[in-house]
Amino acid sequence: MELKEPFLWGSATAAYQCEGGYREDDKGESIWDVFCHSEKNNINAVTGDVASDHYHRYEEDIRMLKEGGQNAYRFSLAWTRIIPKGTGKISQAGIAFYKRVLAACKKYGVTPLVTIYHYDLPQPLMEIGGWENREVAEAFADYAQVCFEAFGDEVRHWVTINEPDYDTMCAYAVGNYPPNVTDMNRRAKALYHMLLASAKAVSRFRKLQAKGMIGLVHAPYPIATLQDDLAYREAAKNADLFYNRCIADPTITGWFCDDLFVKLKESNIDLSFIKEGDKQCFMEGTVDFLGLNVYERAVVKPYTSGETCLKINNTGKSKDKTSIIVKGWFELDKDSEVKRNPWGMEVYPKCIYDLLYMMKERYGDIPFIITENGIGYYDKLENGQVHDPYRIEYLDGFIDWMWKAKEEGIDVRGYFVWSTMDLYSWINGYEKRYGLVYVDYEDHEKRYPKDSYYWYQKKIDEKEGKEL
Q: Which of residues 164-183 bind ligand BG6 (CB under 6 A)?
A: 166
- Angle at the Cα of 379 from the Cα atoms of 376 and 381, rounded to 5 degrees: 155
Which lies closer to ligand BG6 via its Cβ, residue 225 or residue 341? 341
CA separation for the pair 368, 359 (Å, rounded): 9
Q: Closest approach of Cβ 112 to ligand BG6, in Å?
A: 17
What is the contact mask toward ligand BG6 in residues 330 to 369, using x (rule: CB under 6 A)?
----------------------------------------
From 2, 372, 382, 462, the catalytic residue = 372
Q: Which of 251, 293, 313, 420: binder of ligand BG6 (CB under 6 A)?
A: 293
Radius of gyration of the chain (CA): 21
Q: Does residue number 372 form part of the binding site for ligand BG6 (CB under 6 A)? A: yes
DSSP assigned state of 163: -
What is the distance between the alpha carbons of residues 161 and 14, in angstroms, rounded to a whole number? Answer: 11
Q: Give residue 142's identity as a one-letter amino acid code.
A: D
Instruction: Fill in the per-residue mask, 200 to 219: x = in contact with ligand BG6 (CB under 6 A), - = not in contact.
Output: -------------------x
Q: Which is nearer to ligand BG6, 181 or 219 (CB)?
A: 219
- Is 426 among the residues that bind ligand BG6 (CB under 6 A)? yes
The answer to the question of residue 120 lying near ligand BG6 (CB under 6 A) is no
Q: Which residues contact 72 (CB under 8 A, 6 or more apart)?
A: 8, 9, 10, 110, 111, 112, 113, 414, 416
Write the burial class of residue 362 (CB in 10 Å: 0-12 exposed, 13-18 middle, 19+ buried): middle
148-175 exposure pattern, b = at least 16 Cβ within 10 A, e = fewer: bebbbebbbbbbbbbbbbbbbbbbbbbb
Partners of 209 in the beta sheet?
Answer: none
**428: contact with ligand BG6 by CB under 6 A:** yes
Q: Do residues 331 and 303 lie in contact, with contact meaning Cβ atoms separated by under 8 Å?
A: yes
Among 162, 198, 238, 341, binds ligand BG6 (CB under 6 A): 162
Q: How far apart are CA 128 and CA 197, in angstroms?
A: 16
Minimum CB separation of residue 178 from ligand BG6 in Å reads 14
Residue 19 found at the interface with ligand BG6 (CB under 6 A): no
- Contact flag: residue 418 with ligand BG6 (CB under 6 A): yes
Establish whether 2 is a catalytic residue. no
Amino acid in the structure at residue 43: I
Closest distance of CB 429 from ligand BG6, Å: 9
**Using rule CB under 6 A, residue 163 touches ligand BG6:** yes
- The least CB distance from residue 357 to ligand BG6, in Å, is 22
Shortest spacing between CB 119 and ligand BG6, in angstroms: 7
Q: CB-wise, 71 or 162, nearer to ligand BG6?
A: 162
The dihedral region occupied by 198, where left means phi > 0, alpha psi between -120 and 50, and beta the remainder, is alpha
CB nearer to ligand BG6: give 166 or 456. Answer: 166
Nearer to ligand BG6, 15 or 299 (CB): 15
Q: Contact at 8 Å (CB) between 167 and 117? A: no
425 binds ligand BG6 (CB under 6 A): yes
DSSP 169-233: HIIIII--STT----HHHHHHHHHHHHHHHHHHHHHHHHTT-SSEEEEEE----EE-SS-SHHHH
Which residues carry out catalysis?
Answer: 372
List of residues contacting ligand BG6 (CB under 6 A): 14, 17, 162-163, 166, 219, 293, 372, 376, 418, 425-426, 428, 432
